[in-house]
Amino acid sequence: MTTHEKPGTGPESKSDTDWSYIARREAVIYLTKNREDYFYSVYDCLCRKMEHGFWQSQVKHALASLQSEGYIQSHDGGRGHRGQPTRRSYCITLLGLLKALTYNLSPNDFHLIAEKNVDKAPLIFGEWGYFEKNGVAKMIVLLIRSYYLYILESILEGSFESTNIRQRRKLGLEYHSKRELDTSALTRYILFARLPWLNSRKLETVDPLEETINESFRKMSLEWIKIWVGNPTLKLYLVDQLNRKQKVTEGVLTRVRELQCYINDTRCCEELQF
């Protein structure tokens, strides 16, 4: 099919919605693997992937919608030596990268994506070979998908404009941008998502069922920590995060004790009044 034929007019035609979805998906995957490229490179790749090809307007619409939703960014190349505008380039954002990892891709694709996007999550993608070697790369992908769905659910519940500072910090969102994610929030999520023992309601209990649950949480947490301890870079991060969590816990306990003292003092005052 030539680029002048309208896509979707063949015997296996698809609706505009289908073509829009495919164009968006393939554009995200392409930019995730290539970091940054120009419109015609994206357009050419999409046409080669699809039997019926695309209109240029369809690809432009797909890129525009992805940019408006924060999945990609575009950069104006400025002006050439004759004052003519140069080509606009497109690149993937961290949110777009998370979206790409929700698609059914091969392990080789995941490896390439990690290799090309180390700067977006250094502790995760920079150590991807180590995760693959230890057989947990697939688990990392599942955790990334879970984090993305958590972010997406927050977007659907309410716009980022109305999200307060506490919620934005929890989601890892920068204050100055509606769709800009903080890499550190993603890394912390991946670390602590497999440490359920830290969040157990009761570490000591006489209930056999809860003892069994806590023991399974303990084993899962220790197995996960074993992976992180085996890599010097990840170990340093793990120790730092556990120290931070300990300080927070100690701070909470200090406040609890202070409130308890206040309650006791109040009771003493009430008794004296009687």
Give the tens place of pLDDT for each residue, 234-258.
999 999 998 888 888 888 778 878 8
- pLDDT tens digits, one per residue of 131-174: 999 999 999 999 999 999 888 776 655 544 444 444 444 444 44
Phi then psi dihedrals of residue 96, to 5 deg: -65, -35
User: Are the CB atoms for 192 and 147 separated by under 8 Å?
Assistant: no
Whether pTM > 0.85 for this model: the answer is: no
What share of the chain has pLDDT > 90, as a percent?
A: 35
- Was domain 1-76+85-92 assigned CATH 3.40.50.880? no
**Cα–Cα distance between 71 and 96 in angstroms, integer?**
4
- pLDDT tens digits, one per residue of 13-35: 344 458 888 889 999 999 999 87
Transcribe 125-175 into DSSP letters. Answer: HTTHHHHHHTT-HHHHHHHHHHHHHHHHHHHHHS-GGG--HHHHHHHTB-T
- pLDDT tens digits, one per residue of 164-217: 444 444 444 443 344 456 788 899 999 999 888 776 655 455 567 667 777 888
- pLDDT tens digits, one per residue of 87-107: 788 999 999 999 999 999 999
User: 123, 76, 74, 121: which is closest to 101 by C-alpha?
Assistant: 121
